[in-house]
Structure 1
Amino acid sequence: MKYFVCVFVCCAVLFAQEKPQTLAEALGYDSDAKVVILNADDFGMCHAENLGTQKVLEAGIVSSATMMMPCPWVLEAVEYVKKNNMKNIGVHVALTSEWKRYRWAPVSRSPWGGKSSLVDEKGYMWPGTLDVEAYADVEDVKAEVRAQLKKALDLGVDLSHFDSHMGSLYGVASFRVELLAAAYAYSYEFGLPFRMPFIEGMEPLREKGFAVLDDLVIGAGQEPKDPKGRKQYFVDLLKNLSPGVTEIYIHPAVNGEELSRITGSAKTRQLDIEIFCDPELKQVIADENIKVIDFTSLRKWQREQMNWNPSFKAEDVYDEYVAILKEIFHGEKFQRSAKLKNLHNVCKCE
């Protein structure tokens, strides 16, 4: 009997040791802690989006935002960030320009100054993620990612992280790993976390010191469109969070003539403002003992893990990351993952 108990205890210890550590645990939280980053995407996309993002940030529920550097209204967003000395702002790297009547071009080069694989026949960024994966040359992608990050830094923004507008840097539609490798290479160079959820097989990236999220959730997308149903979606989402660090992202914007001329999601973007300024949602977060953080703690952790310094260069690690990601992307467990399916949904989200 004593032998059986000993074996059982030893097996339990081994199992506990083999269980992957969550990012939340790595940051110092308990194993059952529910930690969330609430991010407002598309900051700087237009004036209406700027107003909406400011409202939710000032309400104190949304903890982070990411700016779209190619867009005309990004300077207004930068002005707000600098005026308020904000540290919780990242870059929403855009390789797509999805709206019919309101579009933008690359930061890295003028579309009218020569041929570019990043633009369509009209000189604007491709309208969809599949177009980027099909036509964009990786060297042009690298130049654009770097240019967008550098532009934000040169304008005086103390960046906390960066992510991918419509998921065009994930490369998951065609398993084009060199796009994601570029994202991680610049995450290395700039010492900035890149938004990506942990999927089984991605242990090598965490071992490299990258602050890979435990989960990533679309903030309802286009549905539900009714106020009560949309609010309940977020309440249920928060109540059912898994332990670890989860990012939930939304698209808050003030509905009006400007926004309605740009996008068909104007009403749901307005609803996101109302929901994330509602004290009831803050109470749900408190009742569920959810810890709300931003990417500054992830940036600090990642830089410590890597012993980061400004001399790091993306090209020194890019080929190595391509090789690592080929192994990950071609793994059966990775391709069957529910989180991978969620990333496909991210790529469709406008």
Structure 2
Amino acid sequence: MPSQVIVNADDFGLNEHTNAVILRAFQCGLISSATAMASMPAFKAACALAQQPALRGRVGLHFNLTYGRPLSEPIRALAQFCNAEGEFDLGLSRKRLWLGRAARQAVHEELAAQWQRCLDHGLTPSHLDSHQHVHNLWPIGEIVARFAAREGVPIRLARNVGHNIGPAKRLFKTLLNRRLRQLARLTADHVCTPVDLRDGLAPRHGVLEVVAHPSALGSHDFGDAYLGSGESLQALLDQRLAGVPRVGYASLREARQSTLDTASNR
């Protein structure tokens, strides 16, 4: 059984309905973390909600390169990222290992713009992950991890728990996660989906992040986009992770600082 679990809801700010579900999930104790999309229509409302006690210090940035329009100019001119109308249309292969200088700079500027928009609306992100897992592309992951290190926040690892991760994919994820840890320095130990929990794959140690996309299931329960219709995310978490404390990503920074303080006092 993991020592702690971060139950993170992606897509905060996508629309008002998603905001309402995530707010209620926080208030009910279902989730302990969320990540916001800085260029979506309900982002400003999400930032206001993030000031509530249940959410404060527990909302990160959901870096987006695949949906809507970018916040910065240079990336709009690159066909591998945007279409002729200046909307995101990511054309990079998942096997891509390298980007040219102009592309790397454009990704960094877009990431910085999305981060700054959070700050401009009173939200200091607690951590970084990405929409549709774009930072699982090696060169983008390196950019995001370096940015996370500069800002002193954790980054989500690539999912490393699951039956459907074959040998080649597992090798790639192991190498990518090693690189993300090396660059960002702050990560959870394991990442999974609710389906992986349902399959009985909760790790036996370390800090686990469960990547969630909660939905309303009646008036007092929650489903999830990863689960089947009518399946309860709350019941699943209670069953598979009973007694495991639900924490936010800030706990990783606090634990690291405590370790550093202890070492300096020896």
- Return the TM-score normalized by structure 2: 0.73
Aligned to 1:25: none
* Identical-pair percentage: 24
Aligned to 2:49: 80
Change (3 A) 1:146 1:76: same
Using the alignment, how far apart are the partners of 2:186 and 2:24 within structure 1?
28
Please tell me whether the aligned partners of residues 90 and 160 of structure 1 are also in contact (alpha carbons under 8 angstroms).
Answer: yes
Using the alignment, how far apart are the partners of 2:216 and 2:74 within structure 1?
30
1:154 to 108, 120, 126: 120
2:82 to 116, 119, 125: 119
Alignment-mate amino acid for residue 232 of structure 2: I
**What is the correspondence of 1:309-320 to structure 2 with a 5 Å cutoff?**
none
Aligned to 2:220: none
Q: Secondary structure at the match of 1:36?
A: strand
Please tell me whether the aligned partners of residues 161 and 194 of structure 1 are also in contact (alpha carbons under 8 angstroms).
Answer: yes
Aligned to 1:299: 253
Please tell me whether the aligned partners of residues 35 and 62 of structure 2 are also in contact (alpha carbons under 8 angstroms).
Answer: yes
Flag the structure with higher helix content.
1
Using the alignment, how far apart are the partners of 1:251 and 1:212 within structure 2?
20
Change (3 A) 1:218 1:234: closer
Q: Residue 242 of structure 1: CA displacement? A: 2.7
Q: Residue 45 of structure 1: CA displacement? A: 0.9
Please tell me whether the aligned partners of residues 194 and 226 of structure 2 are also in contact (alpha carbons under 8 angstroms).
Answer: no
Using the alignment, how far apart are the partners of 2:120 and 2:230 within structure 1?
30
Q: Residue 61 of structure 1: CA displacement? A: 2.0
Deviation per CA, 1:278-329: give whole Å up to 9, x if none: 4x4564366x43222110111334567799xxxxxxxxxxxxxxxxxxxxxx
Please tell me whether the aligned partners of residues 194 and 227 of structure 2 are also in contact (alpha carbons under 8 angstroms).
Answer: no
Deviation per CA, 1:315-347: give whole Å up to 9, x if none: xxxxxxxxxxxxxxxxxxxxxxxxxxxxxxxxx
Change (3 A) 1:65 1:267: closer
1:106 equivalent to 2:70? Answer yes
Aligned to 1:290: 244
Flag the structure with higher strand content.
2
Deviation per CA, 1:87-144: give whole Å up to 9, x if none: 11100000111xxxxxx11112388xx7245311232111566389589811110111
Aligned to 1:210: 185
Change (3 A) 1:132 1:143: farther
Aligned to 1:185: 146
Using the alignment, how far apart are the partners of 1:272 and 1:248 within structure 2?
19
1:168 equivalent to 2:123? Answer no
Aligned residues: 237
2:7 to 38, 41, 45: 38
Question: What is the root-mean-square deviation of aligned Cα atoms in Å?
Answer: 3.6
Please tell me whether the aligned partners of residues 57 and 125 of structure 2 are also in contact (alpha carbons under 8 angstroms).
Answer: yes
| Structure whose alpha-carbon radius of gyration is higher | 1
Using the alignment, how far apart are the partners of 1:274 and 1:152 within structure 2?
33
Q: Secondary structure at the match of 1:169?
A: helix
